[in-house]
Amino acid sequence: MKDRRTLVLIVVLAIAAAVTQLLVWWLKPPPKPSDMVGPPRSGYELDDFTLRALGQDGQLAFTMTAPHLARREGNDSLYINAPRYTFIATDGSVWHGTSQYAWVSSDNNLVKLIGKVDMLRPPAGKISEAEIHTADATVWTQDKRMATDAPSVIQEPGSILRGVGMKADFDTHTLDLLSDVHATLTPHQRPH
């Protein structure tokens, strides 16, 4: 009789477990639909590449070449080693430059130039040549501007300006040092 009770108890517990599992499956909310549109984007790496990045307006915002680029899975931003780049102002004037590393946001609107940064604006029409030597700069490609909090040197014909922190507007061709500014001015040579 004791074996019979044990057997009945095991059967009742098995039926209760099965009913409980069925209730869990039945009452469980349906799975959420996937928010993903299109195929998933995987991580990848490129060697010796050229990037031509367009802005939100569809115009070329900047170009970049480098020996190595990495895009990590689940993160649409780009990590770049030893880039050479060209930022393009609205009027078509350009800034060429190099840095140790760069980070580019997924929408191409933000570029962080990491480590030593050297940039050159070649003369074009009424725009004079200029050089920038700084570190750790941020470029907003849509707004055509750049900024850094690092010590900076701006060289233009007839002047060398040194300071801490800098802002640049590629469209208005203005370069501003923010603090501790020192200038070295060289006299213009007079024609004979």
* 3-state SS, residue 158: coil
**What's the pLDDT score for residue 106?**
84
Q: What does DSSP say about strands 130-140 and 94-104: parallel, antiparallel, or unpaired?
A: unpaired
> For residue 151, which of 159, 161, 143 has the smallest C-alpha distance?
161
16 located within any domain: no
Q: How many C-beta atoms surround the C-beta of residue 69 within 10 A?
A: 21
- Tokens 């990491």 — which residue? 114
Identify which has the larger pLDDT, 169 or 40: 169
Stretch 149-156: mean pLDDT? 95
Residue 82: CATH number of its domain: 2.60.450.10
Written as one letter, the residue type at 185 is L
Q: Is 81 exposed, middle or buried (0-12, 13-18, 19+ CB in 10 A)?
A: middle
48 located within any domain: yes
110 located within any domain: yes
The total number of structural domains in the chain stands at 1
- Inter-CA distances, 80 with 13, 66, 103, 150, Å: 61, 7, 6, 21
Identify which has the larger pLDDT, 11 or 179: 179
Residue 63 makes CB contacts below 8 A (sequence gap 6+) with 50, 51, 52, 53, 85, 86, 88
Stretch 117-133: mean pLDDT? 92
Structural contact between residues 61 and 72, judged by C-beta atoms closer than 8 angstroms: no
Structural contact between residues 80 and 98, judged by C-beta atoms closer than 8 angstroms: no
Q: What digits encode the pLDDT tens for the residues 53-83?
A: 888 888 888 999 999 999 877 778 899 999 9
12 located within any domain: no
Q: Mean pLDDT for the chain?
A: 87
**What's the pLDDT score for residue 42?**
60
Instruction: Specify the length of the chain in residues.
Output: 192
Paired tokens of 109: 């609107």
Which domain range does residue 71 map to? 44-185
21 located within any domain: no
Q: Angle at Cα 102 formed by Cα 90 and Cα 120, nearest 5°?
A: 50
Q: What digits encode the pLDDT tens for the residues 159-188?
A: 999 999 999 999 999 999 999 989 888 876
**What's the pLDDT score for residue 58?**
83
Q: What digits encode the pLDDT tens for the residues 114-124?
A: 999 999 999 98
2 located within any domain: no
32 located within any domain: no
33 located within any domain: no
